Amino acid sequence: MVQNIILIVEDDPDIRELTSLYLGKKGYEVFIAENGLQALEIVNKEKPHLILLDIVLPGMKGFELCEKIRELTDVPILFLSSKRDSIDKIKGLEVGGDDYITKPFDFAELEARVRANLRRNRLMASNEHKKKRVLTYGHLSIDLDSYEVFVDGKLVSLYAKELQLLLLLVNNPNQVFSADQLYDQIWGIDSYGDLKTVLVHISKLRRKIEVNPSKPVLIQTVRGFGYKFNA
């Protein structure tokens, strides 16, 4: 089982060390930071799964640091503070915090909050992954929700008809379509134009999604019949 990584950002050495020792004994991999700059370095390098963040820090304050961390990651952030005012709790949530724990705290309660936030984050990530509909064929990925196309992870810009043509072929893998059929499906029977339009769009599409457009692998020509998407 992969260890959850926790970053503790706390300037009080006693609280920092005791919290680190307790969570370490509970099986977490713990990193500590005394200030905002150290914390940002660890976030970038170690990719923690959860962050315990003090509000009162030297230099960069906790609220400001939380906003900067949110630009890098969406992992749970639990504020640690001796302030019990509701205004501070509200501020902590507004800047991107997920929970607020007042000092002095019970270590067992702290770990329960840690476990709950880690579990909630895993469930959200799992649900988001399930909701996202992505088709992948080798180096080509198509997001069916956003209608974005990626080649080797890079976004490729397709015109509307190119995308419609690609989706028609992808949704009917290995089915051969004649140029007439493609024209009727994409441009419509009553549209004005000729079959060269299909050839031109197939050629443009290949240049954008094929590794070697002169030797297409994904959109193949079936001589004498038409085109198919090779799944």
Residue 38: is it exposed, middle or buried by C-beta count within 10 angstroms (0-12/13-18/19+)? middle
How many structural domains is the chain composed of?
A: 2
Identify the domain containing residue 10 by its residue range.
Answer: 5-131
Provide the CATH number for the domain around residue 222: 1.10.10.10
CA end-to-end span of the chain: 35
H helices within the chain, ranges in order?
13-25, 36-46, 62-70, 86-94, 107-131, 160-170, 179-186, 196-209
Q: What token pair was written down for 84? A: 């019990």
pTM: 0.57
Domain boundary among 131, 164, 188: 131
Cα–Cα distances in angstroms (integers) from residue 80 to residues 4, 52, 168, in the given order = 19, 7, 53
Cβ contact 38:108 at 8 Å = no
Residues 12 and 49 in one domain: yes
pLDDT by position in tens, the chain (length 231): 458 999 999 999 999 999 999 999 999 999 999 999 999 999 999 999 999 999 999 999 999 999 999 999 989 999 998 877 778 888 888 888 989 999 999 999 999 999 999 988 887 776 665 556 788 998 999 998 888 999 999 999 999 889 999 999 999 999 999 999 998 888 875 544 567 889 999 999 999 999 999 999 999 999 999 999 998
- Is residue 151 within a helix (H) or strand (E), and if so which, with residue range? strand 148-151
The predicted structure's pLDDT at residue 191: 46
CA atoms of 195 and 90, how far apart (whole Å): 62
Cβ contact 53:78 at 8 Å = yes
Domain boundary among 80, 100, 131: 131
The predicted structure's pLDDT at residue 133: 79
Q: What token pair was written down for 52? A: 């315990």
CA atoms of 24 and 22, how far apart (whole Å): 5
